[in-house]
Amino acid sequence: MAGPGSTARFVRRPGTPPEALTVVPAGRTKAARAAVLAVVECAARTGRPAEGGELRLTGDIPVGLGMGSSTSDVIATVRAVAGAYGVRLDAGTVSRLAVRAERACDPLMLDDGRPVLFAQRAGRVLEVLGPALPPLVVVGCTLGGGAPVDTLALPTAEADEGDVRAGERLRRMLRRAVATGDARLLGEVATASAWRGQRVLQHPEFDALTGLARRTGAVGVQIAHSGAVAGVLFDPAAPGLRHRVRGCLRALDAYGIPATRTFTTFPTGTTTEEFAPHGPAHRRVDRPARPDTPRRPARLPALRDDEGGLRRRGGTPPASDRSRAAR
């Protein structure tokens, strides 16, 4: 999804230790850890002193919804520090630093847009599934009234043999869906994945969401395993697409599920203007920030063209970079 992102600007402060950081806004502890790690890494590569400095972060990704807000902060920070040292870090190094900073990370440092199977706690790609996802139209929404989910407080369970077999079955289906461009098969995989996540997340709107997806002819639903952001997935080649999308938006409204943004997995430049425009997200509530990453209240745009790609800035002090959440 093009649009939401984080911007980090880092200015070195000569003569100070790496831990001597000023972080604005205060409380971005994951980004602060990433900055220290990146300073040490870049100093070792360049032979320059490892120095602290000032890190400024801005962003418009809602927190706690499973949209990769913390990883976006961390990656933007690592790239900004690298820019301040005049180096460019490869995706593997950025991934390694991100995992050390936040224990697990999303694959937002991968720039080529290919769908991958990513080990979030190891920070490495296990498999490149193919060149691109099948074409989809995604009607975004949020569950639980858009309230953040504290993933660290969720119960955890070790995967048993049944989970492993089910996961491998979904992996085979996903490979085939990507290889053949099969939107319906991809929707089946996404829905099965959402159902498994529901055992922990227990969203009260789950049955309503899956039910309205069936009634409107969607191929499935997508729900973040680490939050409340969701999407109803449509095959753009299906007849009556505009009618289906409008019906989905009406159904979401009837169930009190806030619609956020309609976007596509199409190549850059494809527009979603033809699909039903709808009102602003969060008609009733702003999303509060979690204590670890305070932010100004954020709103997701209702409907925009799908731009695609990453937008970067910086390279010399003060350096900055923008890391976008890609889903």
The confidence score (pLDDT) of residue 152 equals 65
> Residue with structure tokens 């425009």?
277
User: What is the reported pLDDT for 265?
Assistant: 85
pLDDT band at residue 63 using 50, 70 and 90 as cut-offs? confident
Q: What number is the average pLDDT over the span 29-40?
A: 96
Token pair 């991934």 in the structure block, residue: 95
Residue 228 CA to residue 137 CA, distance in Å, equals 19
Q: Is 9 helix (H, G, I), strand (E, B) or coil?
A: strand
Cα Dmax for the chain: 65
253-289: per-residue pLDDT in tens? 999 999 998 999 876 444 444 444 343 333 333 333 3
Are 312 and 302 contacting, i.e. CB atoms less than 8 angstroms apart? no
Q: Rounded mean pLDDT of 56-67?
A: 83
User: Is the confidence at residue 303, as pLDDT, over 60?
Assistant: no
Reported as a pLDDT band with limits 50, 70 and 90, residue 4 is confident
| pLDDT digit string, tens, across residues 23-34 | 999 888 999 999
| pLDDT of residue 18 exceeding 50 | yes
Residue with the two structure tokens 């923008």:
322
Looking at residues 172-182, what average pLDDT do you find? Answer: 95
pLDDT of residue 225 exceeding 60, the answer is yes
* Mean of the per-residue pLDDT values of the chain: 82
Q: What is the pLDDT of residue 267?
A: 62
Residue-range domain boundaries for the chain: 5-111+310-324, 132-264
Q: What pLDDT was estimated at residue 291?
A: 38
CA distances, 46 to each of 23, 85, 321 (Å): 24, 7, 20
Structure confidence at residue 123 (pLDDT): 93
pLDDT above 90 as % of the chain: 60
Cα 143 from Cα 153, distance rounded (Å):
18
State pLDDT tens for residues 141-172.
Answer: 999 877 777 766 777 777 889 999 999 999 99
Please tell us whether the domain made up of 132-264 is placed in CATH 1.10.8.60.
no
CA atoms of 22 and 35, how far apart (whole Å): 10
Most confident of 116-120, 131-135, 187-191: 187-191
Residue 274 vs residues 30, 96, 251, 279, 307: alpha-carbon distances, Å? 40, 41, 19, 15, 15
* Confidence band, pLDDT 50/70/90 cuts, at residue 10: very high
The CATH number given to 5-111+310-324 is 3.30.230
What is the sign of the dihedral through the CA atoms of 126, 309, 79 and 150?
Answer: negative
